[in-house]
Structure 1
């Protein structure tokens, strides 16, 4: 089964992250679903997660991961030096999630510093999105 990433489709930073993953995901292991879509809400509900939770989620092996754990598990599957980020899984989750929260709260500011627009996925990559 493919891994599924649930992301905030209205966030430029989140969209840039998705495009980064698309570039590094040579094995095409991930499909993408917008958190605010009906399918996204339904998936969250099936894992007893409130649809109002603002986070990044990874569904893999019938488990759901959020925040820093989701991000680091994704990084571990990608090509390149991003795999090295998995060493941070050794850091206790509460500490990792504090760092994740700081980035998350500032994601709109971070995204606007580089661009106000999102890149559209290629026609091949669009098949991996459920929005």
Structure 2
């Protein structure tokens, strides 16, 4: 997973996070984003290479863009840049001060399991996109 576009490092047991992956897959402007399970051996190693501990991954998803790890709302802003319009237009939220963006992000992140649920490996990985995932067992897509 060293060559290519940014890598989204996400909680594969979080229904909200897995839904976000499905949302991104359906709305990307080009298939360049890659996805890594945060709790997998590969995901934890990738996080560690970028100075992130397991606890960091409990609080946020991360986007590894080259040699930089982006967290919380900054990670979301990078993902928005890779979506088709009108979704990419939400990147205007970058004008909102980071502390405020991150406070809203943290509010939702702390409640994500309670509000959206948690299931072991709930991510659905489309067969034709399997090559873009690492450390994600996921459920097969149904036809």
Taking structure 2 as the reference length, what is the TM-score of the superposition? Answer: 0.81
Moved more, 117-126 or 52-61: 117-126
- Structure 1 Cα separation of the partners of residues 113 and 52 of structure 2: 24
Query: Which position in structure 1 is the counterpart of 2:91?
Result: 86
- Structure 2 Cα separation of the partners of residues 36 and 111 of structure 1: 19
- Structure 2 Cα separation of the partners of residues 62 and 31 of structure 1: 15
> Quick one: which of 64, 67, 90 aligns to 1:62?
67
CA RMSD after TM alignment: 1.7
Deviating beyond 2 angstroms after TM superposition, the runs of 4 or more aligned structure 1 residues are 108-112, 117-121
Moved more, 72-81 or 14-23: 72-81
Query: Which position in structure 1 is the counterpart of 2:8?
Result: 5
- Structure 2 Cα separation of the partners of residues 124 and 85 of structure 1: 28
> Quick one: which of 27, 43, 47 aligns to 1:44?
47
* Residues matched between the structures, number: 127
- Structure 1 Cα separation of the partners of residues 133 and 94 of structure 2: 28
Matched, 1:127 2:122: no
- Structure 1 Cα separation of the partners of residues 69 and 123 of structure 2: 27
- Structure 2 Cα separation of the partners of residues 89 and 30 of structure 1: 20
- Give the superposition deviation at 1:2: 1.6
- Structure 2 Cα separation of the partners of residues 63 and 41 of structure 1: 16
Query: Which position in structure 1 is the counterpart of 2:78?
Result: 73
Structure 2 stretches of 5 or more lacking a match?
A: 136-143
> Quick one: which of 101, 105, 112 aligns to 2:110?
105
Look up the SS of the partner of 1:32 in the other structure: strand
Query: Which position in structure 2 is the counterpart of 1:15?
Result: 18
Q: 1:119 to 1:34 in 2, by over 3 A?
A: closer
